[in-house]
Structure 1
Amino acid sequence: MSSINDQATVIVGAGPAGLTAALVLARYRHRVVVVDSPRAPRNDASQGVHGHIGLDGVPPAEIRARAWRELSRYPTVQLREADVDAVRAADEGGFRVELDGGEAVEAATVVLATGVVDVHPTHVEGFAECWGRTVIHCPFCHGEENAGRRWATVSDSADLAALSAVAFRPWSHDTIAICDASTPGVDEARTAARSRGGDVVAGTVRRLHHRQGSLYAVELADGQVLERETLVWTPPQRQQPLVTRAVDELKLTVDDGGFLSVDEARCTNVPGLYAAGDVSARWKQSFTASAAAGATAADAIHAAAVLGAVHG
């Protein structure tokens, strides 16, 4: 009969999903290897995590450092800073996780918790400087810190523009939406928004005027300048290159947006390969949702290991 402790899990990514999965598995006394890239994480632009009890306002880097210290106390956990080049099925079962530099780690199970890549509009001057401060992707995440300001939101859908032109009233009493003039239904959206006290402006954002990341105006391609202090802009997202390669090589199932498809246990269509956090969720990307997904994956891994040990 095999021991549960013989079943190593490699967790790729040390965001809220990966770190929570590692902690839960450590509490189950599983062998865990957490591999995280030494490069700046996606949430590096955030000034603080919000909406998670006990951590509200704490910078992501501090949370990661705390978690790293907590995990280092568990003898079954290894923490590695490295880029993962590939996750492949091993000939003898399980997986082979290949790190940069040629090293490889064998694992019975793998959790992909890499997060995703925000595709920023590189043609918009000032976007990068304002990102995470006064250009925000989520009112829940950063709305409180921008409350009382003049808001605009960028939308590629007329229906969403009409809604978002008034939906952010809990944070601002002066809200508009910006939608490309060629978008079908933009005139009807403007009429609907104005009837509710908002507005839809037809145009394409060209430049953000700011002072050290503090937005004060949005300039459109036609030269129109809108005095706005907060811009809600949710950019498109793509998978990390590692995940894209894994999709091709392991034939992972993805949804229409390219996000990994998982079951209730956060398992992909490949047995033993789990995905948690933003990598498998387009619209549930909060710290809390990602942490919950990581815990769910860890519980499922433990349950599978127990069954395997009993019947092995």
Structure 2
Amino acid sequence: MKTSNYDVIIIGGSYAGLSAAMALGRSMRKVLIIDSEKPCNQQTPKSHNFITQDGVAPGEISAIARKQVLEYKTVESLKDLAVGAKKKKNNFHITTKSNGDFIGKKLIFATGIKDMIPEIKGFKECWGISMIHCPYCHGYEFRNKRTGILTNGDRAFHLASLVKNLTDKVSILTNGNPDFTQEQIAKLKANNVDIIENKISELEHKDGAIKSLIFTDGKEISFDAIYAGFPFEQHSSIPVSLGCELTEHGYIKINELQQTTIEGVYSCGDNSAMMRSVASAVASGNLTGAMVNHNLTQEQF
């Protein structure tokens, strides 16, 4: 297959990648977006907390974005999976699952992260629907509802303080021994937040809508929504194989200009930031596109 050359190759074509591509397309840069079209929020019925798009299905937002981005004639999109990247002199050589071979002067990773959901019955079916991750993205829709927080320690305490503003029916599910300071326990009790230590065996639901949690001791408690903080891993192994450093929390390490620790390589979206929302992804992608264009300009001018 003939190798094609680009100013910028973007791996990942969801909100962050498309936003970066738009900034670059408007600067007349030749751009290739490589995307396998498997976003992490594909089960989520509606996106929220993003002005002009509040309550719109995530897939609809990305479809509109892709159509608008591809109106810029210097931007191309390829449905494929990037499987390798090498830096040769001042260029990046990208290979794909379909044996595509592409060269870019700059490289942007907008590859996202992969949630490591426990193998507990019902969890995967409810993830992104009624088992949720963010009070700002989903909390309003479950206001005044019976709500669980499935995590422990500082993260559970922090989430409880936010969720308590949305509902008085809050329980922390530690799924084992709790990990709180005495001060945190006192505050949770003062705010009528229950701590449930029982081990979970199953999540009962209907089409992703939670009905109740069933515990290993046979106890069953009804819930309408559960916030969960699952561990994650990078969706793509390419950044690390290329030499990009990760933070202690597992995100791609970037500076204030969205640059990774490898010169010429940038990152945007939730692979490199804790804020995990469509609005945040779009913002980081827009900044990344501008910074990459600035870098190219400084090299050429």
Assess same fold via TM > 0.5. yes
User: Which residue matches 2:168?
Assistant: 173
Structure 2 counterpart of 1:255: 247
- Aligned partner of 2:228 in structure 1 is 233
Q: 1:164 to 1:109 in 2, by over 3 A?
A: closer
Match among 50, 65, 68 for residue 66 of structure 2? 68
Q: CA deviation at 1:148?
A: 2.3
Partner of 2:278: 287
Matched, 1:114 2:105: no
Change in Cα spacing, 1:197 to 1:132, as seen in structure 2 (3 Å) is same
The alignment covers a number of residue pairs equal to 297
What is the RMSD of the two structures over their aligned residues, measured on CA atoms? 1.9
Deviation at 1:193, TM superposition (A): 1.6
SS at match of 2:253: coil
Q: Give the corresponding residue for 1:206.
A: 201
TM superposition shift of 1:29: 0.7
1:34 aligns with: 33
The CA deviation at 1:104 is: 0.7
Q: Tell me, which stretches of 5 or more residues in structure 2 are unaligned?
A: none
Secondary structure of the structure 2 residue equivalent to 1:8: strand
Q: Would you say 1:309 and 2:300 are equivalent positions?
A: yes
Alpha-carbon separation, structure 1, partners of 2:24 and 2:294: 11
Q: Relative to 1, partners in 2 of residues 1:228 and 1:186: Cα closer, same or farther, differing over 3 Å?
A: farther
Cα drift, residue 163 of structure 1: 4.7
Q: Is this contact kept in 1: 2:146–2:169, CA < 8 A?
A: yes
Paired amino acid for 1:85? V
SS of residue paired to 2:201: strand
> Which of 141, 144, 148 is the equivalent residue of 1:152?
148
Answering whether residue 84 of structure 2 is matched by residue 93 of structure 1, we say no
CA distance in 2, matches of 1:285, 1:161: 17
What amino acid does structure 2 have at the position aligned with 1:15? S
The change in CA–CA distance for 1:279 and 1:160 in structure 2 (over 3 A counts) is closer
Aligned pair in 2 of structure 1 residues 183, 177: CA closer, same or farther (>3 Å)?
closer
**Aligned counterpart, 1:246:** 239
State the SS of the aligned residue for 2:233: strand
Percent identity between the aligned chains? 25
SS at structure 1 position matched to 2:86: strand
The answer to whether the 8 A contact 1:35-1:83 is kept is yes
The TM-score normalised by the length of structure 1 is 0.89
Residue identity in the other structure for 1:224: K
Amino acid at match of 1:94: N
What is aligned with 2:210?
215
